[in-house]
Amino acid sequence: MQVAAVLLDAAGTLIRTREPVGETYSRIAREHGVAIPAWRLDEAFARVLRSAPPMPPGPDDAERAWWRDVVRATFRAADQMQRFADFEACFAALYDHFARPDAWRAKPDPAFFARACAHLGVAPAAAVAVGDDPIDDLAAAQRAGLTAIDVATLASLAALPARILALEAEEDR
């Protein structure tokens, strides 16, 4: 097997929020005393996310701090006049919401992987999909003809290139 493409599981690509981000932000902000229309939060979130620095690698607290900055900037960009009595409580509710599986739609069926390979100009047999869900990521990729790697079997993503080289060597035998 000569690997020509690696497809990674990622929010917004393989999974999407169940409801638009602006609706979620607006709903939870109302619970914390701030009323901003969902459409304004959607637009602000898109602008803030585009201009945000890359998420820092590292422990979960670094990711959480990065998201706190994005959420705070989103609310400020949507309406600078609105103030939270307790922004941290609102942020915690949003962060907890998006950590739950029910905040996301089910990952795609095998047709997604076939479309991705077609878009890349790569045969499914020459592509590898890396994911964490045995059914929605791994089984779906295999049904589409890709080789699937469970991210939990890797010590870290740094081990991915060696795993791919091992797959190529297996095929050569």
DSSP 79-99: -TT---S-HHHHHHHHHHHHH
Going through the chain in order, the beta strands assigned E by DSSP cover 5-8, 127-131, 147-150
What is the extent of the structural domain holding 134? 5-13+106-172
Q: Provide the residue type at 54 as one letter.
A: P
Q: Which of 7-16, 20-29, 42-51 has the lowest mean pLDDT?
A: 7-16
Select the more confidently predicted residue: 92 or 18: 92
Q: What element of type H or E holds 75?
A: helix 60-78
The number of folded domains in the chain is: 2
Q: Is the pLDDT of residue 30 over 50?
A: yes
91 and 110 share a domain? no
89 and 26 share a domain? yes
pLDDT at residue 13 in the model? 46
33 and 92 share a domain? yes
117 and 88 share a domain? no
DSSP 81: T
Q: Is the pLDDT of residue 36 over 90?
A: yes
pLDDT at residue 105 in the model? 75
110 and 166 share a domain? yes
Predicted TM-score of the model (pTM): 0.60
28 and 98 share a domain? yes
Q: Is the pLDDT of residue 78 over 70?
A: yes
Contact call for residues 136 and 106 (beta carbons, < 8 A)? yes
Contact call for residues 129 and 122 (beta carbons, < 8 A)? no
d(CA 106, CA 136): 7
pLDDT at residue 94 in the model? 97
Which of 83, 103, 123 is the endpoint of a domain? Answer: 103
Q: Is the pLDDT of residue 14 over 60?
A: no
pLDDT at residue 107 in the model? 61
d(CA 65, CA 3): 36
